[in-house]
Amino acid sequence: MTNDDRDMTNETTNLPGAFIRHSSFVIRHSTVGEVVRWAADELSHAEVECARMTGELLVAQVLGWTRERVIAHPEGGLSPEQVDLFRTLVRRRCSGEPLQYITGEREFYGLRFKVTPSVLIPRPETEFLVGEVLRLSNNLPRTQSVCLADVGTGSGCIAIAVLHNLPGCRAWATDISAPALEVARQNAMRFAVGDRIRFVCADLLECFPERPAFDFIVSNPPYGARGNREAVQAIVRDYEPEGAVFGGPSGYEAYSRLIPQAERRLLPGAYLLLEVGFGQWEEVARMAEHEGFAVDRMVEDLQGIPRCIVARRETADQRR
């Protein structure tokens, strides 16, 4: 150990417990294992879920490593600058900021998406929408190029995951938020689908003419009820974009405008897939039926909560 390894300022406040302390100095070089243990303690104390895993992911972020490498190499070293950065990240998480905004990434449908505070953090339940589009696309004629609209695209996760898995698909993605669209554009480049997707800053589907054009219209619209703000978790309410979380006073406002717009833009026999919030599926299914859709299916998430409505636009034959 050299003198360079020691902080001679006698700093003792809020330091990683794993750091070796002496009465007059603190050794500031530290190992991966030590800082992970310290972070796990701090995060548990702040009642952060999955404290140890969070610590590992934050060290991975600082070192530019994978989490697996962090676990496999507890003897790895951090420089004083890396330790300082790590402590800042741990503090941000302890004060409530979502991990994904700190690391700037979130995995969705096996792809690692960029996320910023301008976009909703993609959720596992939204993966059901992607799975349903891929399943239903098998029913379409093989020669046909599938055309999809993703309304309220946010990070672009739905449209981009579909395009990544469906080479014959093209997509239009709309969002009312220009900063969100910028993130989505970057994700489209990241996953090399930029040549098959167009982004439009628009209110729902209003930018498209009222004529049948799409095989799929997919949306995870904002569905939180502004009138029931307090029921929404603080980590969502305080950090995620207001316009991505809350749809209006009742939470049904986006559905009531989007469903009739979609009906006028889907090809006959084409599909509308909507994610719904807890307890909303019956009312949203009723709205879709009222607009002439046949509700084919309701998909439950892993907790058994109805999450995704699959509605089909009637064909000309059915209309007669």
173 makes contact with ligand SAM (CB under 6 A): no
220 makes contact with ligand SAM (CB under 6 A): yes
Angle between helices 80-94 and 32-45 (to 10 degrees): 20
CB 171 within 8 A of CB 162: yes
Q: What are 217's strand-pairing partners?
A: 149, 272
Residue 72 or 178 with smaller CB distance to ligand SAM: 178
Q: Which of 244, 285, 287, 308 binds ligand SAM (CB under 6 A)?
A: 244
* Longest pairwise C-alpha distance within the chain: 88
Residue 35 or 180 with smaller CB distance to ligand SAM: 180
Q: Which of 58, 70, 120, 273 binds ligand SAM (CB under 6 A)?
A: 120
* Separation between Cα atoms, residue 20 and residue 33, nearest integer Å: 13
Q: Which of 30, 54, 177, 187 binds ligand SAM (CB under 6 A)?
A: 177
* Phi, psi torsion values for 279, nearest 5 degrees: 80, 5
Q: Which stretch binds ligand SAM (CB under 6 A): 90-98, 174-182, 266-274, 296-304?
A: 174-182
Residue whose entry in the numeric block shows the structure tokens 């879920």: 49
Q: Are strands 111-114 and 105-108 parallel, antiparallel or unpaired?
A: antiparallel
Chain residues 145-164 in contact with ligand SAM, contact rule CB under 6 A: 152-155, 157-158
Residue 46 or 235 with smaller CB distance to ligand SAM: 235
203 makes contact with ligand SAM (CB under 6 A): yes
CA nearest neighbour of 218 among 282, 312, 135, 151 = 151
Residues that bind ligand SAM (CB under 6 A): 119-120, 122, 126, 152-155, 157-158, 174-177, 180, 203-204, 220-222, 243-244
